Amino acid sequence: MFFRLYPGPGHGKDGVAMIVYICSPYQGKEENYKKAVSYCKAAAAAGHVPIASHVMLHGILDEATDREKGLTAGLKMLELADEVWVCGEVITSGMAAEIERAEAIGKQVIFKGAIL
Protein backbone atom coordinates (compact mmCIF):
# COMPACT_ATOMS: atom_id res chain seq x y z
CA MET A 1 0.00 0.00 0.00
CA PHE A 2 1.27 3.45 -0.91
CA PHE A 3 0.97 4.81 2.65
CA ARG A 4 3.71 2.46 3.87
CA LEU A 5 6.21 5.11 2.75
CA TYR A 6 5.58 6.52 6.21
CA PRO A 7 6.95 4.16 8.86
CA GLY A 8 4.30 4.95 11.47
CA PRO A 9 4.01 6.85 14.73
CA GLY A 10 6.72 9.37 15.44
CA HIS A 11 7.57 10.07 11.81
CA GLY A 12 6.65 13.76 12.06
CA LYS A 13 8.56 16.70 13.46
CA ASP A 14 10.20 16.16 16.84
CA GLY A 15 8.89 12.59 17.09
CA VAL A 16 5.25 13.70 17.04
CA ALA A 17 2.70 12.28 14.60
CA MET A 18 1.95 14.66 11.75
CA ILE A 19 -1.39 16.26 11.04
CA VAL A 20 -2.14 15.44 7.41
CA TYR A 21 -4.84 17.16 5.38
CA ILE A 22 -6.53 14.72 3.02
CA CYS A 23 -7.26 16.47 -0.27
CA SER A 24 -9.53 14.27 -2.38
CA PRO A 25 -12.60 14.57 -4.62
CA TYR A 26 -16.00 15.07 -2.99
CA GLN A 27 -18.58 16.98 -5.06
CA GLY A 28 -21.36 15.69 -2.80
CA LYS A 29 -20.92 12.08 -3.96
CA GLU A 30 -21.29 9.34 -1.37
CA GLU A 31 -18.65 7.18 -3.12
CA ASN A 32 -16.13 10.03 -2.79
CA TYR A 33 -17.00 10.43 0.90
CA LYS A 34 -16.33 6.71 1.45
CA LYS A 35 -12.99 6.94 -0.36
CA ALA A 36 -12.02 9.96 1.77
CA VAL A 37 -12.82 7.97 4.92
CA SER A 38 -10.55 5.19 3.61
CA TYR A 39 -7.73 7.68 2.97
CA CYS A 40 -8.15 9.03 6.51
CA LYS A 41 -8.05 5.50 7.94
CA ALA A 42 -4.85 4.76 6.02
CA ALA A 43 -3.22 7.95 7.33
CA ALA A 44 -4.29 7.09 10.89
CA ALA A 45 -2.96 3.55 10.49
CA ALA A 46 0.37 5.07 9.44
CA GLY A 47 0.47 6.93 12.76
CA HIS A 48 -0.74 10.34 11.64
CA VAL A 49 -3.71 12.52 12.49
CA PRO A 50 -5.85 12.93 9.35
CA ILE A 51 -8.21 15.81 8.71
CA ALA A 52 -10.54 16.05 5.72
CA SER A 53 -13.21 18.72 5.54
CA HIS A 54 -15.63 16.58 3.54
CA VAL A 55 -15.38 13.81 6.13
CA MET A 56 -15.64 16.11 9.12
CA LEU A 57 -18.53 18.14 7.68
CA HIS A 58 -20.44 15.26 6.05
CA GLY A 59 -24.07 15.55 7.12
CA ILE A 60 -23.48 19.04 8.53
CA LEU A 61 -23.15 21.10 5.35
CA ASP A 62 -25.12 20.45 2.18
CA GLU A 63 -23.04 20.40 -1.00
CA ALA A 64 -25.83 22.00 -3.04
CA THR A 65 -26.35 24.99 -0.75
CA ASP A 66 -23.23 25.21 1.41
CA ARG A 67 -20.42 24.47 -1.06
CA GLU A 68 -18.60 27.77 -0.46
CA LYS A 69 -18.79 27.31 3.31
CA GLY A 70 -17.31 23.84 2.93
CA LEU A 71 -14.49 25.05 0.70
CA THR A 72 -13.68 27.87 3.11
CA ALA A 73 -13.72 25.49 6.07
CA GLY A 74 -11.40 23.13 4.19
CA LEU A 75 -8.88 25.88 3.55
CA LYS A 76 -8.88 26.78 7.25
CA MET A 77 -8.39 23.12 8.23
CA LEU A 78 -5.57 22.82 5.71
CA GLU A 79 -3.67 25.57 7.57
CA LEU A 80 -3.51 23.29 10.62
CA ALA A 81 -1.79 20.48 8.75
CA ASP A 82 1.89 19.60 8.57
CA GLU A 83 1.42 18.06 5.11
CA VAL A 84 -1.25 17.87 2.43
CA TRP A 85 -1.87 14.47 0.88
CA VAL A 86 -3.58 14.58 -2.50
CA CYS A 87 -5.55 11.37 -3.05
CA GLY A 88 -7.65 10.13 -5.94
CA GLU A 89 -7.48 9.80 -9.69
CA VAL A 90 -8.53 13.34 -10.63
CA ILE A 91 -7.93 16.88 -9.39
CA THR A 92 -11.23 18.73 -8.99
CA SER A 93 -11.53 22.51 -8.91
CA GLY A 94 -11.90 22.40 -5.11
CA MET A 95 -8.78 20.27 -4.80
CA ALA A 96 -6.86 22.60 -7.10
CA ALA A 97 -7.74 25.51 -4.81
CA GLU A 98 -6.54 23.53 -1.79
CA ILE A 99 -3.26 22.59 -3.50
CA GLU A 100 -2.70 26.21 -4.56
CA ARG A 101 -3.34 27.45 -1.01
CA ALA A 102 -1.09 24.79 0.51
CA GLU A 103 1.79 25.72 -1.79
CA ALA A 104 1.23 29.45 -1.14
CA ILE A 105 1.62 28.98 2.62
CA GLY A 106 4.57 26.59 2.34
CA LYS A 107 2.91 23.26 3.11
CA GLN A 108 4.45 20.14 1.68
CA VAL A 109 2.07 18.65 -0.89
CA ILE A 110 2.38 14.93 -1.55
CA PHE A 111 0.52 13.32 -4.43
CA LYS A 112 -0.67 9.86 -3.35
CA GLY A 113 -2.86 9.05 -6.36
CA ALA A 114 -5.51 6.36 -6.32
CA ILE A 115 -4.16 4.34 -3.45
CA LEU A 116 -7.07 1.96 -2.94
| Residue 4 pLDDT exceeds 50 | no
Asked whether the beta carbons of 8 and 83 are under 8 A apart, the reply is no
pLDDT at residue 13, as a whole number:
58
pTM, 2 dp: 0.83
| Residue 26: half-sphere exposure toward Cβ, Cα within 13 Å | 27
pLDDT at residue 105, as a whole number:
96
Per-residue pLDDT of 18-47, as tens digits, reads 999 999 999 889 999 999 999 999 999 888
